[in-house]
Amino acid sequence: MVGKGTTFENSPSYLYSSESVTEGHPDKLCDQVSDAILDAIFTQDPNARVACETATSTNLVVVIGEITTTASVDYETVVRETVKRIGYDDPKIGIDYKTCEVIIRLHEQSPDISDGVTTALEHRTAGAFSKNAEDSLGAGDQGMMVGFACNETEEFMPLTLALSHKLTKRLSIARKEGIISYLKPDGKAQVTVEYSHGKPKRVHTIIVSTQHSADISTAQIENDIRKHVIETVVPESLIDSSTRILINPSGRFVVGGPHGDAGLTGRKILVDTYGAVARHGGGAFSGKDPTKVDRSAAYAARWVAKNVVAADLADRCEVQVSYAIGVAAPINVSVETFGTGKIDDSKISELVNKHFDLRPGAIIRDLELRRPIYAQTASYGHFGRMDVDLPWEKTNKADALRNDANI
């Protein structure tokens, strides 16, 4: 229902923060390895079942999980090539793709889970099986998935997270192109924005932490990051004399990557999604094939939310979809517009159910998810990406939603 709005929309001054991490962050390294393996398998076998987890520590990468596939993949080579692409080529900075120890421990998916996913409960109990295999797919697990969109940036993403991702992406570009030659792969950014009545007003604080060579002074790092990273990313109109800019506030950041901190797949779920601006169902994405609704339904929920906002039905939209393992039809599809809806939320929910088929097989079909498109999502966010072509970012349903809403 459309109400009076939340504290966020009513408050004359409200601070909110989001963070991003670079591709060289140890957790993000693991996400990229897991998704590189998924893509390598999907290149040969689009119907594979993949649940691949990665862990890393000093000069070590461990890959575990359940994979059922006809593909023949050299997993160790995929791991080493991913570590190399990120920029870890010296054990002194955390890990060396040439010499690191790689341990692979993979086995097939449980047949009980496989059977329940392949043929949904609705088809098993009815005794009728669709000729279209996608129609009969059950959800790969129970759970709640959340999608979100807002109109405060051209990416339909929260400004706090959009700026954080741009800062970390710029750190990577500055390192790889030699703009700042002493940068190393690990790094983070965090942006706090002051909102007024739900609209971005100014940037309150910018924090950038980046791994660097040992022989560089703090003053040089601060000057270079301001000039070549912050000033190229954050609009001047959002920065004022009161904006705080903190660069490597802990001091030296020489020891980083897997040497400074162990990494795990799926530990940066808010970086991957909406920067804590929206709620989160709890499931991670990387290393999972699209029969896992943790991933595919979260992508579909983003697709729904973005089309609702693109259709101008609301300024902010959060969509929750929930599933039972082995069942195709969602348990629920709910819509929340936080008082910004142009029509009642219940009407938007009706339109969503009319225009979007959120069964797992239909999501895979409509978003063409049985393709090797996942490694590119494993750093700098899965949503709001304007640098890559992702099917869940399309607004191809907006016109139909707008026309049906009659506004």
Q: Which of 9, 19, 23, 25 is catalytic?
A: 25
- Residue 30 phi, psi dihedral angles, 5° rounding: -65, -40
66 is catalytic: yes
Instruction: State the sign of the Cα–Cα–Cα–Cα dihedral 114, 44, 365, 378.
Output: positive
Burial class of residue 305, CB neighbours in 10 A (0-12, 13-18, 19+):
buried
Q: Using the 8-state DSSP alphabet, how is residue 227 labeled?
A: I
Q: CA 109: distance to chain centroid?
A: 25
Q: Which of 89, 261, 312, 404 is catalytic?
A: 261
Q: Which of 188, 212, 306, 347 is catalytic?
A: 188
Indicate the pairing of strand 60-68 with strand 101-107.
parallel
Q: Do 137 and 155 contact (CB within 8 A), yes or no?
A: no
Q: Which of 23, 272, 294, 366 is catalytic?
A: 294
Question: Starting at the edge strand that comes first in sequence, how are the strands of the sheet with 263-264 ordered?
Answer: 101-107, 60-68, 49-57, 263-264
267 is catalytic: yes
Q: Which of 123, 228, 267, 355 is catalytic?
A: 267
Q: Which of 23, 27, 45, 224 is catalytic?
A: 27
Q: Which of 148, 156, 253, 285 is catalytic?
A: 253
27 is catalytic: yes
131 is catalytic: no
184 is catalytic: no
Indicate the pairing of strand 101-107 with strand 14-21.
unpaired
53 is catalytic: yes
324 is catalytic: no
188 is catalytic: yes
Compute the radius of gyration of the chain from its Cα atoms: 22
**Buried-state track 186-216, b at ≥16 Cβ within 10 A, e below 16:** bbbbbbbbbbeebebeebbbbbbbbbbeeeb
135 is catalytic: no
Q: Which of 80, 166, 292, 359 is catalytic?
A: 292
Which helix (H) or strand (E) segment holds residue 72: the answer is none
354 is catalytic: no
253 is catalytic: yes
294 is catalytic: yes
Count of beta carbons in the 10 Å neighbourhood of residue 179: 16
**Three-class DSSP labels, 24-70:** CCHHHHHHHHHHHHHHHHHHHCCCCEEEEEEEEECCEEEEEEEEECC
Tokens linked to 319: 């969509």
Q: Which of 288, 347, 382, 397 is catalytic?
A: 288
3-state secondary structure of 252: coil
Q: How many CA atoms lie within 13 A of 394 on its CB side?
A: 10
Q: Which residues are catalytic?
A: 25, 27-28, 53, 66, 188, 253, 261-262, 267-268, 288, 292, 294
